[in-house]
Amino acid sequence: MSIFTANKLRETREKMGLSQTDVAKMMHINDRTLRKIESNERQVTADEIIEFAKLYKVDVRELLLESYAEESEEQILCNRYISLCRLYDQLSTKDKEDVFWVIKQRIAGLI
């Protein structure tokens, strides 16, 4: 892991207003392990990076790639949109219909 990733994990946690204790509990690790990860004293696993990204609601690339983090917010949103479209294209016709139904219900304020 890089010092960039360690710092990004800490910064993102702080930006969300979460304590190390909160995150450690949510990640099912102990506080000491999280402190070591955030201070770059312990390697973070691929599975942990994925869990951090889910918890912090960010793209994994934002936690790993300095060049990605330096992109503009507009470019990051564009990349997310492209990723979403690629995933959508892999869905069956029935699943695509379900996705549109959920979106329509959400827009109508029904869910």
Residues 6+ apart with CB under 8 A from 50: 60
Report the predicted TM-score, pTM, of the whole model to 2 decimal places.
Answer: 0.63
All structural domains of the chain, each given as residue ranges with its CATH number in brackets, are: 3-69 (1.10.260.40), 73-107 (no CATH)
| Average pLDDT over the chain, rounded to an integer | 90
Q: What is the mean pLDDT of residues 12-38?
A: 96
Whether 59 has a pLDDT exceeding 70, the answer reads: yes
Share of the chain above pLDDT 70, in %: 95
Q: Which residues contact 20 (CB under 8 A, 6 or more apart)?
A: 13, 31, 34, 35, 38
Give residue 62's pLDDT band: very low, low, confident or very high (50, 70, 90).
confident
Residue 78 is predicted with a pLDDT of 81
CB 40: neighbour CB atoms within 10 A? 17
Mean pLDDT of 58-75: 78
